[in-house]
Amino acid sequence: MIKELFLGFLVTAAAVAHCSAQEKPEKGFKSLFNGKDLSGWTGNPALWSVKDDVITGETTAANPIKGNTFLIWTNGIVGDFEFRFSYKISTGSGNSGVQYRSTVLDTTNWVVGGYQADFEAGPTYSGILYEEKMSRGIMAGRGEKVLWTKDCKKEVTGSVGISDEIQAAIKKGDWNDYVVIAKGNHLQHFINGKPTVDVTDECEAKRAMRGVLAFQIHAGPPMNVMFRNIQIKTLD
């Protein structure tokens, strides 16, 4: 009996430690997820849920989607910030990302357009800067330092790393840590501590300085994506 009680205590303590570790924001940051439900977020309830204390987006063969859809943070908009989260794609295929400084284009179907810090189950796009639903598409490939000029032309001005080496540090089917920093027109992405893109956007006609945050489920084969440790700090 004593042994069973002791084991039960260890399990309970581990569960409490897990929840605490997930929800305790780092100094200067605030958590955007309560670890229990989707309060403060809106998305298709058939696709988004909280399972095992993490936000989960899932499509299946029986419940596919025809277009990209998003889980949108509803408690404010973002300007200059550092945004941190951990993600895991548990399926062999799938593409996701976080929209930032973006625009809600369709409230009925939860469609968002604008800057996206991309990631996927595959070997190519994790870490890139993509402009969802807008005209510029891939704004920076992985490893690129890019200037978008005042006349909206892309110039690759340097490198922040080798694409294959960045990919090698990404854990397939496991948790990875993503950081997005937006300060003025300077945008940076990092995965597992490695810089993936560095973009200066001087294209005033197309750039965004403020907007919404949102997580993506991409159209295509069935996929499962999970998010935890979702924290943000406003930058002065």
| Residue appearing with tokens 């430690």 | 17
Query: Which 8-state DSSP code applies to residue 221?
Result: S
Label the pairing between strands 186-191 and 48-51. Answer: unpaired
Q: 28-234 domain in CATH 3.40.1350.10?
A: no
Question: Residue 236: its pLDDT value, please?
Answer: 86
Question: Residue 2: its pLDDT value, please?
Answer: 43
Residue ranges covered by each domain of the chain: 28-234
Digit-coded pLDDT (tens) for 43-95: 999 999 999 999 999 999 998 999 999 999 999 999 999 999 999 999 999 99
Question: Residue 192: its pLDDT value, please?
Answer: 98
Backbone CA torsion sign across 156, 159, 162, 163: negative
Which string of b and e fits 161-172 if b means at least 16 CB within 10 Å? bebeebbeebee
| Residue appearing with tokens 């999970």 | 226
Question: Residue 4: its pLDDT value, please?
Answer: 43
Phi, psi of 2 (to 5 degrees): -60, -40
Among 91, 191, 201, residue whose Cα is nearest residue 145: 201
